[in-house]
Structure 1
Amino acid sequence: MKKPFLIDAHLDLAMNAIEWNRDLTRPLSEIRLQEMHLKDKNDRGRGTVCLPELRKGRVGLVIATQLSRCTSFGMSISGWNSPQQAWAMTQAQLAWYREMEALSEMVQITTGIGLDNHLALWENAEISDEDKPIGYILSLEGADSLVNISYLEKAYNYGLRAVGLSHFGAGRYAPGTKMEGPILPSGFELLKEMDSLNMVLDVTHLTDEGFIQALNTFKGPVWASHHNVRKIAPTQRQLTDENIKMLIERDAVIGGMLDCWAMDTRFIDAVSDPWQLNIRMENLVDHWDHICQLAGNSLHVAIGSDLDGNFGTEQSPWDLDSIADLQTYQQILTKRGYTEQDIENIFSKNWLRLFRKVLN
């Protein structure tokens, strides 16, 4: 039986290619073998994402990020020491996406026509999935690298279509995860410019106060690319029921993420073992169930896996070996009582509904 088409709304592909020095065109087994003896990062030799595995799992369309944070002197998190350096890193990441396009490994989607053509290609059974490019919509995770507001239009012109104001820690436009406080004045200016360009606001990583401010200020399309439910995983990083209801009212979609600590707060980074805690792919369905109950339907949940977002198999569900295993959700969701239409919504149709609002 043909595997269904699948969309993953959050992958840091260029970060892994540039900063982790991974050739994502190569087989996953080769990438892991190449990293076997490297010790500079916890996930060395444990990656789950590469372009061949995306094709194997029919993950034919992704939201792919640029990610480059600024940090001030004395901050404990990593980042660049100036906005100009951060911008330069995003341009290196953009250059990698362009190289993947030159190799026909990937194709950037910026218009509705481009989206329809790409979907038609992936439905063409006469062409092997192994020979199809991975489509990507470009998103900026954290706005620190925008040196000033004028840089947003520069980024839009090279295809950027979604922006999250913040990432972890303090930000130049808004504070992020593990912080408190409001959006900064520069952040409100950025939201206004995003509205004028019909860009998407990604509310992921905002503080509680910033989340409310953003949804009350921004008039355009909204999504939460990689977020789970706070009632199940009670940390500031996840969405409250109030947050979820506000997103449902905006016809937003929430991408469920597969980082173990985002599914089960018993998990401690670099300490816990997913197998010992029995954290499985099915744990994410508990989060989807909660959102679906609040919405009364399956129109607001989807996949935003964040796989290989600074972690690998050591911090993923123990029954997931590669991103191709996302197809397992067809079986898991069926067992949990989801209909075929529900599964289509979660796998692709919910994201496509939003994409068509943005891609003119």
Structure 2
Amino acid sequence: MFNLGYIDLHCDSLLRIFNDYDQGNLYENKNLSVDFKSLKNGGALAQFFAVFLPDQETLKEMNLSKIDDDLYIKKLIKTLKKEVKANNELIEMAYSYQDILNNQKENKISAFLTIEDGRSVNADLEKIKKYYEAGIRLITLLWNHENCFGYPNSSDPKIMNKGLKKFGIEAVKYMNQIGMIIDVSHLSDAGFYDVAEHSQKPFIASHSNVRNLAAHPRNLKDDMIKIIAEKGGIIGLNFAPQFLTENSSNLDSRIEEMVEHLNYIKNIGGESVLALGSDLDGIQGNLEIDSSRKMPLLFKALKKNGWSDDLIEKFKAENALRVIKDILK
């Protein structure tokens, strides 16, 4: 077995250092779950860093001032690139499959940029193009509010039954065309099925789990797991407590439940749909894996559960690499 390291499809660490909320840098930061040193110690091959667009409630919660979306996006992109450049012996930006291979040869972690909540696109395909040119390689179409793409996951069936808007369908096709990953985490159920219908490329759920095991609307139904697998996409395991157990008041994120979700996804969608999307620095609770450096604990638990080395490597990186190679140009 050749150990590639792991690929994590989602973290919110950039928000945490925005406006010096948690202060410090990305090399080593005791306030963060994901920093470059922890990634190295945990054996990361690549980390996807989300530029999450906070709503008013989140801004208030983090004591942040309101800022223009595009200015905010530029600032966070600049922050990551600056931090990567300052630690170039350890990590390098990546925009394609070949970049990962090149970085790996130099024993460097790859850092990818994503946007979580496409609201700033504002129904303008040129905006998506500009984000691509700035280095963004994945857009999580929705967060928790309606935007130009469509409607969010919700406990309200009326909202869940609303699909992509006309622009959302156009954007899916355009993202296919330019080589940008479509992420359906946070999207309404009807929106999910619209992406499945209109996307000619694989799409992903970067940080979602199994709705049959934890009945949160952010999680995926069995047929959704099958559809993502059939389209050649992947599902990133989310470490958030509320997405792991039925008990909505549960604050414990345990490896035992993570393994249960992964086995369920594997049984429904097959081995090639498995991936990792921790959501670290965007989730709260008593996290058994509260840092990138502890990621090997999950792989050891899977081995103990009977997973073969080859299957663990698929989950860790190989499946994500396949999707990256297929989509990113």
TM-score normalized with structure 1 length: 0.81
Matched residue, 1:27: 28
Distance 1:149 1:343, change over 3 A: same
Q: Take 1:51 and 1:5, find their aligned partners in 2: how far apart are those partners?
A: 14
Are the structure 2 counterparts of residues 65 and 184 from structure 1 closer, same or farther at C-alpha, using a change threshold of 3 Å? Answer: same
1:326 Cα offset (Å): 0.9
For residues 135 and 74 of structure 2, the distance between their equivalents in structure 1, rounded to whole angstroms, comes to: 12
Identity %: 22
For residues 27 and 101 of structure 1, the distance between their equivalents in structure 2, rounded to whole angstroms, comes to: 12
> 1:114 aligned to 2:99?
yes
Shift of 1:327: 0.6
Matched-pair contact (CA < 8 Å) for 2:242–2:251 = no
Q: 1:12 and 2:19 equivalent? A: no
Q: How much does 1:168 deviate?
A: 1.0
Q: Give the letter aligned to residue 70 of structure 2.
A: W
State how far apart, in whole Å, the 2-side matches of 1:158 and 1:111 are: 14
Distance 1:345 1:302 in 2: 8
Say which SS state the counterpart of residue 9 (structure 1) adopts. strand
Residue 194 of structure 2 corresponds to 213
Instruction: Give the equivalent residue in structure 2 for 1:129.
Output: none
Take 2:149 and 2:197, find their aligned partners in 1: how far apart are those partners?
17
Partners in 2 of 1:344 and 1:201 — Cα distance?
23
Q: How much has 1:177 moved relative to structure 2? A: 2.8
Q: Which residue of 1 aligns with 2:175?
A: 194
Corresponding position of 1:255: 236
Give the secondary-structure state (helix, strand or coil) at the position aligned to 1:183: coil
Distance 2:91 2:24 in 1: 14
For residue 302 of structure 1, give the secondary structure of its aligned residue in structure 2. Answer: strand
Q: Is the 8 A contact 2:47 2:110 kept in 1?
A: yes
- Shifted more, 200-209 versus 136-145: the winner is 136-145
SS of the equivalent of 2:219 reads coil
Secondary structure in structure 1 of the residue aligned to 2:179: coil
Aligned counterparts of 1:81 and 1:57: Cα–Cα separation in 2:
34
Instruction: Describe the SS at the equivalent of 2:121.
Output: coil
Deviation at 1:77, TM superposition (A): 6.3
212-221 or 202-211, larger mean C-alpha shift: 212-221
Offset of residue 106 of structure 1: 3.5
Question: Once the 2 structures are TM-superposed, how far is the Cα of residue 8 of structure 1 from its aligned partner?
Answer: 0.7
Tell me the SS of whatever aligns to 1:299.
helix
- Whichever residue aligns with residue 99 of structure 2, its letter is G
Aligned to 2:259: 285
Larger CA Rg, structure 1 vs 2: 1
The equivalent residue for 1:101 is 84
Which residue number in structure 2 is paired with residue 230 of structure 1? Answer: 211
Alpha-carbon distance, 1:26 to partner: 4.8
Give, in whole Å, the separation in 2 of the partners of 1:239 and 1:218.
18
Q: Aligned-residue CA RMSD in angstroms?
A: 2.4
Structure 2 stretches lacking a partner, 5+ long? none
Query: 1:321–1:188: structure 2 CA closer, same or farther, 3 Å change rule?
Result: closer
**Structure 1, 101-110 or 219-228: larger mean CA deviation:** 101-110
Gaps in structure 1 of 5+ consecutive residues: 33-46, 123-131
Matched, 1:51 2:26: no
Aligned residue in 2 for 1:127: none
Instruction: Report the counterpart of residue 67 of structure 1 in structure 2.
Output: 52
Instruction: Give the match's secondary structure for 1:337.
Output: coil
CA–CA distance in structure 1, aligned partners of residues 210 and 251 of structure 2: 21
What does the per-residue CA deviation read over 1:22-49, in whole Å, with 9 as the maximum and x for residues that have no partner?
Answer: 3243534xx34xxxxxxxxxxxxxx422
Kept in 2, the 8 Å contact 1:166–1:174? The answer is: yes
Q: Which residue of 2 aligns with 1:298?
A: 271
Return closer, same or farther for 1:61/1:106 CA change in 2, 3 Å cut-off.
Answer: same
1:177 to 136, 143, 153: 153
- Deviating beyond 6 angstroms after TM superposition, the runs of 4 or more aligned structure 1 residues are 79-82
More helix by percentage: 2
Question: What TM-score do you get using the length of structure 2 for normalisation?
Answer: 0.88
Say which SS state the counterpart of residue 66 (structure 1) adopts.
strand
Q: Distance in 1 between matches of 2:294 and 2:153?
A: 28
Other structure's SS at 2:233 match: coil
Tell me how far apart the structure 2 counterparts of residues 346 and 13 of structure 1 sit (CA, whole Å). Answer: 22
- Shift of the 299–9 alpha-carbon distance from structure 1 to 2, 3 Å rule, reads same
